[in-house]
Amino acid sequence: MLILKYDLGEVLECEPKIRECCEKEIKPPDGNKGSGDCCYDEWTAEYKEIDARYKKADKTVTYLTERLSHLTAQRDMWKIWKDEMDKACDYSKKICRQLEIVLHHNARISQNEFLTKRAINLLFCMLRDFFMQIDLLKKKYDSMVNCIKCLNNPALVSGQGIMVLIEDYGKKLDAVIQTRDALIEAIIMAIGIINNINKNVGHPSHHFGLNMVLKEWKKAFNCDGKNQEESEEKRKPEFGMEGYQRNTPEGEFEDTGLEPMFKFPICDSRYYKKIDGKYMEDTEDFNELSKWLLNETKHRDNLKALRDGLNSVISDPNVDPSKRCAK
């Protein structure tokens, strides 16, 4: 049986291995006549098939790598934003705790201020009553002195006897009366100070002062954690608008409708939950895509090894009939 016939006229006998290889007729690739060596032609056809599969696998790996890189950047973006929101949530909780402490101290100050104000008012009433009594004594004293003068008794007016005691009493009475202005001024100043404290600090039942400001801050941070229900008609979406689409002018970025709408507590808001959901979704996609890329990379490397092996075989001068028989 003749397998190869060259122009040199040399006839090669078919070896057993070649005979086994060529028992089944193989059509030359691409309709060509082939090289005359059925094994070489089969390796060539197999190389082309493996090379095509390798190129396809390589493109798949390249696409998955780019996709994974983009997904990694997007996932990291969600992670950074989620971490920032976690920090903001922690800080808001710390602020709420501090507000509770300040409100507690403010309530105690307000209680002490109330008691102080009542005590100062009582003191003012006592001073007023005291000096009213002093004025009454002064009036009686003046009346008594006038009566003594009207008697025109030289023994009484001469400054001896009982008149000495009366005049001494009058001097002491005048000394007490002179303290009235200073005491009244001090008590009025104290009343003004305590009223300013009451106005600026406020009372839990009042709608003004520091107490009211702290309550408004506590309400703004939603420290009690109450649900802030809103009607669907008036509620503006916290995370884009469902099905939001708008024609984007050329040269502009797409408007997704995404804008932060913080509501406290942040960690319980719909916006935070959607950000966290996006991060978890991208993390799952990242893990699945990583596994897919790893499998595709292994498959591509196997095809490359197989292709390189076939290429080294068909490129060997001792195997290629065109080179082997050119001698």
The burial of 109, by beta-carbon neighbours within 10 Å (0-12 exposed, 13-18 middle, 19 or more buried), is given as middle
Residue at 235 is within a domain: no
Mean pLDDT of the 222-238 span: 58
Mean pLDDT of the 81-99 span: 93
Mean pLDDT of the 70-94 span: 93
Beta strands in the chain (DSSP E): 2-5, 11-13
Residue at 113 is within a domain: yes
Distance CA 75, CA 111 (A): 53
Instruction: Kindly tell me if the per-residue pLDDT of 201 is higher than 90.
Output: no
Mean pLDDT across the chain: 79
Sign of CA dihedral 73, 78, 83, 85: positive
The pLDDT tens digits of the residues spanning 95-126 come to 999 999 999 998 898 889 889 999 999 999 99
- Predicted pLDDT at 134: 93
Q: Provide the domain count of the chain.
A: 1
Is residue 83 very low, low, confident or very high in pLDDT (cuts 50, 70, 90)? very high
Q: Are 309 and 299 in contact (CB under 8 A)?
A: no
List all residues 6 or more positions away from 155 whose beta carbon is below 8 Å from its beta carbon: 161
Distance CA 182, CA 186 (A): 6
DSSP character for 23? S
Residue at 171 is within a domain: yes
Residue in 196, 202, 199, 190 with CA at minimum distance from that of residue 119: 190
Distance CA 200, CA 299 (A): 76
Residue at 232 is within a domain: no
Instruction: Kindly tell me if the per-residue pLDDT of 45 is higher than 70.
Output: yes
Residue in 22, 17, 20, 16 with CA at minimum distance from that of residue 34: 22
Distance CA 176, CA 159 (A): 23
- Predicted pLDDT at 81: 92
Distance CA 216, CA 224 (A): 12
Residue at 83 is within a domain: yes
- Predicted pLDDT at 243: 42
Residue at 64 is within a domain: yes
Mean pLDDT of the 126-139 span: 93
Instruction: Kindly tell me if the per-residue pLDDT of 238 is higher than 50.
Output: no
Q: Which domain holds residue 182?
A: 39-225+259-314
- Predicted pLDDT at 49: 92
- Predicted pLDDT at 135: 92
Distance CA 224, CA 87 (A): 19
DSSP character for 266? G
Sign of CA dihedral 40, 43, 49, 54: negative
- Predicted pLDDT at 34: 57
For residue 45, give the CATH number of its domain. Answer: 1.10.287
List all residues 6 or more positions away from 161 whose beta carbon is below 8 Å from its beta carbon: 155
Residue at 238 is within a domain: no
Biggest alpha carbon–alpha carbon distance for the chain: 183
> Which residues sit opposite 13 in a β-bridge?
2
Residue in 55, 116, 82 with CA at minimum distance from that of residue 307: 55
The pLDDT tens digits of the residues spanning 3-39 come to 444 344 444 454 555 555 554 444 554 555 555 567 7
Residue at 137 is within a domain: yes
- Predicted pLDDT at 251: 45
Is the bond preceding residue 265 a cis peptide, omega within 30 degrees?
yes
